């Protein structure tokens, strides 16, 4: 039996950050991880998918090199080498996490943690152990939802199989048009794969502003991706392909055959086999219920990241990690997370990024709005880059000037969105944004112009 001040279950972007912060604050800390340091994000999610998408971006640029006065010969790609590069990047970063934990004197236990009671964990693994701690943080993440009828079929992929395929499909069906589904649809389409997306909802990228969602669909369709919205699919897999009947309003609207199917219909928190029934921790719809400090109904037991519910984002998990640890330590004047200040990003081509309220939600909450828009085609840097498809949209409260939301589509918007994230955290109004000097020539100038447009002062459009 070993005693610690804090034990964290899971070493993903929530767990390892919590461990490091707790160590910085003088706590004796342990982490229990049953698979790989860095969790799904680093090993099978955020990082390796971005590596693959970067390969697709390079391929896209090469295929359009003539537009920049550059002539190239025939272009070929090797998907296996793209995958190999992404795996190497993940391995490098996982090794980096191991070094960070060692540097911060965090004890790492390999195995599965099971609650014996609110302060005691049994570790199942090569070296069984019992850990005791006054405070335990659950950071076990989430797993992909799968269609039970076709689970484990080699032609039906989750995100994990989609990023390590054994073959390059010529045709692909993606079920679900959230960030994960759209990123894979974009990646494979750039490789020349025939891609079809089926979505149960009436629009793609359900959490995005309707205007941005519509623009995204239009651009993806220009690239050749086909969409069936408000639709469902019935799959019949065989050894070499998958047949899919697509239905809408109870009627068959298409019957297609593809080489593979990616199922991207959401995730469910990893709450099973933790022994939570031996504690007062409560769950609902596959997630652990927590208060504003990430503490569960069991005092001293916290839950962070995907297992604690939406939004399922690595940066949200890391922020919750620090909040939970600082609450444990008793730091004063902590600020609960405002979920309206959490940016979301989709790393497709084009990129999509947003923060705060959509136009629809802002109106539903009773706000009178001032809306600003600025198109990429009117920005000098975007024109020079050859990236003229895109839009920056800003939403302000007409009475107070509060920045309620910002929604973007186009090149590098996943980097630009942080400017608005800082603004929202500082509770900025249109006045501060208007008075901010943006460098020229940059894409960021569009953020300024969009703000000006909301108040009838736009200069360059």
Quick: pLDDT tens for 324-369.
999 999 999 999 999 999 999 999 999 999 999 999 999 999 999 9
Whichever domain contains 85, its CATH number is 3.50.50.60
Which of 305, 226, 235, 294 is closest to 265 using CA atoms?
235
Residues 259 and 303 in one domain: no
Which of 247, 263, 279 delimits the end of a domain? 263
pLDDT for the residue numbered 10: 97
| Confidence category of residue 102, pLDDT binned at 50, 70, 90 | very high
Q: Is residue 411 part of a domain?
A: yes
Q: Is the peptide bond before 350 cis (omega within 30 degrees of 0)?
A: yes
Instruction: Count other Cβ atoms within 10 Å, centred on residue 442.
Output: 16
Tokens of 445: 């100038």
Residue 48's pLDDT is what?
95
3-class state of residue 260 by DSSP: strand
Question: In this model, does residue 148 exceed pLDDT 80?
Answer: no
Residue 110 confidence (pLDDT): 95
For residue 17, pLDDT over 90 is answered with yes
Are residues 136 and 278 both part of a single domain? yes
- pLDDT reported for residue 286: 87
Active-site residue among 234, 315, 367, 440? 440
CB atoms within 10 A of CB 92: 11
**Residue 334 falls within a domain, yes or no?**
no
The predicted model gives 370-396 an average pLDDT of 98
pLDDT, mean of residues 253-261: 97
- Tell me, yes or no, whether 138 and 152 share the same domain: no
Position 242 scores a pLDDT of 96
Q: Are residues 245 and 376 in the same domain?
A: no
| 304, 430: one domain | no
460 is a catalytic site residue: no
Residue 460 counted as domain residue: no
| pLDDT tens sequence across 41-56 | 899 889 999 999 999 9
* Residue that finishes a domain, picked among 263, 294, 319: 263
The candidate with the shortest Cα–Cα distance to 269, out of 144, 409, 100, is 144
Average pLDDT (216-223) is: 98
- What angle, 0 to 180 degrees and rounded to 10, lies between the N-to-C axes of helices 179-190 and 210-223? 20
User: What is the average pLDDT value for the chain, to the nearest integer?
Assistant: 96
**According to the model, what pLDDT value does residue 245 have?**
97
- How far is Cα 20 from Cα 280, in angstroms, rounded to an integer? 27
149 pLDDT higher than 80: no
Segment 215-228 shows an average pLDDT of 98
Instruction: Report if residue 335 sits inside a domain.
Output: no
Do 321 and 442 belong to one domain? no
Listed in sequence order, the DSSP H helices in 72-141 are 79-103
* CA distances in angstroms from 411 to 65, 311, 376, listed in the order given: 17, 24, 9
- 385 sits in which H/E element: helix 380-385
Cα Rg of the chain (Å, integer) = 23
Residues 358 and 407 in one domain: yes
128 and 247 share one domain: no
Using 50, 70 and 90 to split pLDDT, how confident is the model at 125? confident
State the residue for tokens 């991207």. 264
For 132, the domain range is 2-144+268-329
pLDDT at 427 over 90: yes
Neighbouring-strand partners of residue 353? 345, 408
Q: Can you give the pLDDT at residue 359? A: 98
pLDDT digits (tens, 9 = 90+) for 246-256: 999 999 999 99
For the entire predicted model, the pTM comes to: 0.95
Q: How many angstroms separate the CA atoms of 184 and 173, rounded? A: 10
Percent of the chain with pLDDT over 90: 94
Split into its structural domains, the chain has a count of 3
Q: Assess whether 249 and 278 both reside in one domain.
A: no
Q: Does residue 126 register a pLDDT over 90?
A: no
Residue 337 covered by a domain: no
pLDDT of 375 over the 80 cut: yes
Same domain flag for 158 and 289: no
User: What does the pLDDT average to over 299-320?
Assistant: 96
Query: Is residue 314 domain-shared with residue 355, that is, in the same domain?
Result: no
Question: Same structural domain for residues 137 and 91?
Answer: yes
Q: How far apart are CA 450 and CA 212, in angstroms?
A: 14
Is 150's pLDDT higher than 80? no
Residue 434 maps to which CATH number?
3.30.390.30
User: Rounded mean pLDDT of 25-53?
Assistant: 94
**Above pLDDT 70, what percent of the chain?**
100
Q: Decide if 345 is inside a domain.
A: no
pLDDT of residue 182: 98
User: Is residue 163 domain-resident?
Assistant: yes
Residue at 340 is within a domain: no
């Amino acid at each position: 039996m070993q005693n610690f001040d804090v034990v964290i279950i899971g070493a993903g972007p929530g767990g390892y950050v919590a461990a490091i912060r707790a160590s910085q604050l003088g706590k004796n800390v342990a982490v229990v991880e049953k698979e790989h340091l860095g969790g799904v994000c680093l090993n099978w999610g955020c990082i390796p998918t971005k590596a693959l998408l970067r390969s697709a971006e390079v391929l896209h640029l090469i295929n359009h090199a003539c537009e920049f006065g550059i002539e190239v010969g025939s272009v070929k790609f090797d998907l296996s080498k793209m995958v190999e590069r992404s795996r190497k990047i993940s391995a490098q970063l996982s090794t980096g996490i191991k070094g960070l934990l060692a540097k911060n004197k965090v004890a790492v236990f390999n195995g599965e943690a099971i609650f014996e009671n609110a302060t005691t964990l049994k570790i199942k693994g090569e070296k069984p152990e019992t850990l005791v701690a006054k405070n335990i943080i659950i950071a076990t993440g989430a797993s992909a939802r799968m269609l039970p009828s076709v689970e484990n079929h080699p032609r039906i992929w989750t995100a994990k199989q989609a990023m390590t395929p054994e073959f390059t499909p010529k045709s692909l069906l993606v079920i679900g048009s959230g960030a994960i589904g759209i990123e894979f649809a974009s990646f494979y389409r750039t490789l020349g794969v025939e891609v079809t997306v089926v979505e149960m909802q009436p629009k793609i990228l359900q959490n995005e502003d309707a205007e941005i969602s519509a623009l995204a669909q239009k651009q993806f369709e220009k690239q050749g991706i086909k969409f069936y919205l408000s639709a469902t699919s019935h799959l019949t897999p065989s050894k070499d392909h998958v047949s899919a009947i697509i239905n809408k309003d109870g009627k068959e609207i298409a019957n297609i055959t593809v080489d593979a199917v990616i199922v991207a219909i959401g995730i469910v928190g990893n709450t099973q086999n933790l022994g939570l029934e031996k504690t007062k921790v409560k769950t609902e719809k596959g997630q652990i219920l927590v208060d504003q400090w990430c503490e569960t109904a069991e005092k001293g037991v916290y839950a962070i990241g995907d297992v604690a519910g939406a939004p399922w984002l690595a940066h949200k998990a890391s922020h919750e990690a620090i909040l939970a640890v600082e609450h444990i330590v008793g730091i004063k004047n902590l600020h609960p997370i405002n979920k309206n200040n959490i940016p979301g990003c989709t790393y497709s081509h084009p990129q999509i990024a947003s923060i705060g309220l959509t136009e629809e939600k802002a109106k539903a909450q009773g706000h009178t709005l001032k809306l600003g828009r600025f198109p990429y085609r009117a920005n000098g840097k975007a024109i020079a880059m050859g990236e003229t498809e895109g839009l920056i949209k800003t939403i302000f409260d007409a009475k107070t000037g509060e920045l309620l939301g910002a929604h973007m589509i186009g090149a590098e918007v996943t980097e630009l969105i942080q400017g608005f994230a800082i603004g929202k955290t500082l509770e900025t109004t249109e006045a501060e944004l208007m008075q901010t000097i943006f460098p020229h020539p940059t894409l960021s100038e569009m953020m300024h112009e969009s703000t000006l447009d909301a108040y009838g002062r736009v200069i360059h459009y």
